[in-house]
Structure 1
Amino acid sequence: MPYLEAAVRRQQFIAAARTALATHGVTRTSLRVVAAEAGVPLATMQYVFPSKQKLLRAVIENVVDEIAHVLADSAATDQGLANAIRQGLDTFWGRLVRNGRELQLLQYELTMYALRTPGHEDLARLQYERYAAVVADWCRHAAEQAGETTAVSFDHLARMIVAGVDGLILQYVCDPDEARAREGLATLAEMAQALAGV
């Protein structure tokens, strides 16, 4: 087996774990299953991730990083807050939901795992704090660039947007209806704009 730097090996194992988790779910994914997916001996896997809990923590952080990165890149913030909300929701949905059902299922399963596993509850809280912070940043930036003020704080606005998106995603993974999803996104954008009170 060729030598790989620890950081590269770690990312390889996280990617293998995401594949295994998407295929088998959290309860049926063991270190042995992930090692097989990565094509390495179990001992090599255990050297980097000595427990399933440590591996799942790394996977949760990786999924949150990916989603936060897409959220941060989703909104054009140079045409005012209403446009940023509408365009941000559409771009995010197109990149991570419409063709990313497995990622969304994995995210929900990992959130439930974190909430139910002693010592990992903070991961679920940090996950949603990070999502809300990213959305608040692009809302704030869009409003400031356009010289707009809002009736509510950007933090509150962002949490309501994230809550709305979460609900739409859950409905979509249960019943992927494109027309209903588009209608829901348009309504959510209108509700968020009304709440913002620009």
Structure 2
Amino acid sequence: MAYVEASVRRRQLVAAARVALARDGVPGTSLRAVAAEAGVSLGTMQYVFPSKELLLRAVIEDVVDEIAEVLRGSADLGMGLEHAVRRALAGFWAELVVGRADVQVMQYELTTYALRAAGQESLARWQYERYCAVVAEWCQRAAQEAGETCAVPFGRLARVIVASLDGLILQYVCDPNDARAREDLDATVDMIVSLAAVRRSAR
């Protein structure tokens, strides 16, 4: 078998894991199944990811990176936090929710799996810490680059954003009504902007 650089192999296995998880669910996905999906031996799989927990962490990080990429490309941060929030949440919804129910269900399953599996509770906590950290950092950058202040700490703003999107997404995957979802997302964004109560920084 031809040599494959470790970083390339890791990305290949994470991509295969996302396919397997979306298709078979978290409980039904084993290291062996991911190895088969990637077309590699189980030994190769276990060399890169010795445990399922490590693989799931890598999948979560990959999802977080995808979210961060959407946020980075969605808005001109120099135009302020309100502009960034409105553009980013619309972009997030269009790119990562509509037509991506399998990805969203996979993320919920990762959370519930970790909460139910003995000794894996920290994985669920870490998953949401990563989601919120990415959103908080992005919101802070948007405010700072525009010379603005936010009425609440960025960590709290991020937790509210993540919690709000979680609820909207769960409703949408259960009943994918696009018109209703668009209206609800707009209302949610208005509430988030009101919570942030953005002001220009004192010079």
Fold match (TM-score > 0.5): yes
Superposed displacement of residue 70, structure 1? 2.5
Distance 1:121 1:68 in 2: 24
Contact 2:21 2:106 in 1 (8 A): yes
Distance 2:75 2:129 in 1: 18
Matches within 5 A, 1:6-85: 6-85=6-85
Contact 2:157 2:196 in 1 (8 A): yes
Q: Tell me what 2:156 maps to.
A: 156
Secondary structure of 2:148's aligned partner? coil
Q: Tell me what 2:91 maps to.
A: 91
Q: Does 1:145 align with 2:148?
A: no
Superposed displacement of residue 17, structure 1? 1.3
Matches within 5 A, 1:115-194: 115-194=115-194
Please report the TM-score for the alignment, with normalisation by the length of structure 1: 0.89
User: What CA deviation, in whole Å up to 9, does each residue of 1:105-143 have, x standing for no partner?
Assistant: 111111112222334322322222222222223322333
Distance 1:169 1:41 in 2: 36
Moved more, 1-10 or 116-125: 116-125
Please report the TM-score for the alignment, with normalisation by the length of structure 2: 0.87
Superposed displacement of residue 5, structure 1? 1.8
Q: Tell me what 2:201 maps to.
A: none
Moved more, 19-28 or 143-152: 143-152
Superposed displacement of residue 60, structure 1? 2.4
The aligned amino acid for 1:15 is A
Q: Judging changes above 3 Å, is the alpha-carbon distance between structure 1 residues 64 and 122 closer, same or farther for their aligned structure 2 residues?
A: farther
Secondary structure of 2:76's aligned partner? coil
Q: Which runs of 5+ in 1 are unaligned?
A: none
The aligned amino acid for 1:128 is Y
The aligned amino acid for 2:79 is Q
Superposed displacement of residue 22, structure 1? 1.0
Q: Judging changes above 3 Å, is the alpha-carbon distance between structure 1 residues 137 and 61 closer, same or farther for their aligned structure 2 residues?
A: closer
Superposed displacement of residue 190, structure 1? 0.6
Q: Judging changes above 3 Å, is the alpha-carbon distance between structure 1 residues 32 and 192 closer, same or farther for their aligned structure 2 residues?
A: same
Distance 2:181 2:196 in 1: 22
Superposed displacement of residue 97, structure 1? 0.9
The aligned amino acid for 2:181 is A
The aligned amino acid for 1:43 is G
Superposed displacement of residue 34, structure 1? 1.4
Query: Aligned pair count?
Result: 198
Q: Judging changes above 3 Å, is the alpha-carbon distance between structure 1 residues 55 and 144 closer, same or farther for their aligned structure 2 residues?
A: closer
Contact 2:70 2:88 in 1 (8 A): no
Superposed displacement of residue 104, structure 1? 0.9
User: What CA deviation, in whole Å up to 9, does each residue of 1:72-99 have, x standing for no partner?
Assistant: 4333322222211111110111111113
How much identity, in percent, do the aligned residues show?
Answer: 64
